[in-house]
Amino acid sequence: MPFLTDPWFYILAIPAVLITGISKGGFAGGAGNMMVPMMALAVPAPVAAGIALPLLCAMDVSGLRAWWGKWDKREMRVLVPGGLLGILLGGVTFTLFSDQVIKAMVGVTTLLFLARTVWLARHREPPPVAPHDAVKGGICAAAAGFTSTIAHAGSPPLAIYLYPRQLERQVMAATTVVFFGIVNYVKLIPYFLLGNLSAANLSTALVLLPLAPVGVYLGIWLQKHVSDALFYKLLYALLLVTGVKLTWDGIFA
């Protein structure tokens, strides 16, 4: 089966997959937004998303197995339909806009993620406990489904709703992990229909797949032995450069 052979792509993709695996292993949770922005520097954004999705689905297996059935049922009844709507909107967006526009969306999404991270760092006091809100939850879940479909970067919109809810820690983890596991597997349908799961993309994902468990085990090891402060600084600096480059290319190229 054909697969990408561009060395520049692999120079970017290999660390991106490892960093994402590290995030899935419990170290530096924000690193999960790396794959599509970094790969999109070398290939069209829909191709990057198509290569990344099977890798994310493979990484999700252990999380789904560990957290299945432990979520907040009331929240999931709101979040899952919202996420499905967002996936539909994201799939339509892929059909309506050019690669240049999609690349700009990926870049802007990356920069918004960084802006939110900086804001949270400067406002460390936890917000008051927010009540269950079906409308807000549905809107945030739809936004998460949309940005997840475009760039596999759905965490910030979902966090806007879930974090102020201050659910019990395991319930929060289960709700988040299972929501995005469901979203990722449902995304296989529009990605297949749009041609993003082409033979070349699947073959390239297969080449990169052995890196996924390596990254996960690295994340487990790093969580136990290394402070994540320096890692986050390097990660966010890389995301800043990537986000600016993609946004510039999408708007001015």
Of 240, 167, 199, give the one whose Cα is nearest residue 47. 199
Please report the pLDDT score of residue 49 as a whole number. Answer: 93
Which sign does the torsion angle of CA 80, 81, 84, 86 carry? negative
For 37, 138, 157, 234, 242, the CA distances from 160, given in Å and listed in that order, are 22, 12, 5, 24, 24
Cα separation, 169 vs 173, whole angstroms:
6
Q: 42 near 190, Cβ under 8 Å? A: no
Asked if residue 73 belongs to a domain, the reply is yes
Number of structural domains in the chain: 1
What is the 8-class DSSP label of residue 30? G
Name every residue whose Cβ is closer than 8 Å to that of residue 96 and which is 6 or more positions away in sequence.
none
pLDDT digits 0-9 by tens, 217-231 = 887 787 777 766 777
Cα separation, 208 vs 18, whole angstroms:
9
Please report the pLDDT score of residue 126 as a whole number. Answer: 64
Local structure of 110: helix, strand or coil: helix
Local structure of 235: helix, strand or coil: helix
Q: 22 near 232, Cβ under 8 Å? A: no
Instruction: Report residue 129 as tokens.
Output: 């406990």
Asked if residue 13 belongs to a domain, the reply is yes
Please report the pLDDT score of residue 13 as a whole number. Answer: 95
What b/e string do you get for 151-168 counting C-beta neighbours within 10 Å, with b at 16 or more?
A: bbbbbbbbbbbbeebebe
Please report the pLDDT score of residue 92 as a whole number. Answer: 93
Asked if residue 69 belongs to a domain, the reply is yes
Count other C-beta atoms under 10 Å from residue 48's C-beta.
Answer: 29
Which residue stretches of the chain have pLDDT < 70? 1, 26-32, 123-127, 227-228
Asked if residue 128 belongs to a domain, the reply is yes
Local structure of 205: helix, strand or coil: helix
Please report the pLDDT score of residue 67 as a whole number. Answer: 85
Q: Return the axis-axis angle of helices 134-151 and 169-193, rounded to nearest 10°.
A: 50
Asked if residue 227 belongs to a domain, the reply is yes
Q: Return the axis-axis angle of helices 45-67 and 7-24, rounded to nearest 10°.
A: 20
pLDDT digits 0-9 by tens, 170-199 = 888 889 889 999 999 999 999 999 999 999
What is the 8-class DSSP label of residue 40? T
Range of the domain at 134: 7-252
Asked if residue 1 belongs to a domain, the reply is no
Q: How far is CA 70 from the centre of its chain?
A: 22
pTM: 0.86
Place of tokens 């994310």: 56
Asked if residue 81 belongs to a domain, the reply is yes
Asked if residue 150 belongs to a domain, the reply is yes
Please report the pLDDT score of residue 127 as a whole number. Answer: 63
For 40, 86, 118, 137, 212, the CA distances from 172, given in Å and listed in that order, are 31, 21, 22, 14, 24
Place of tokens 């960084």: 114
Output the furthest CA–CA distance in the chain (Å, rounded).
53
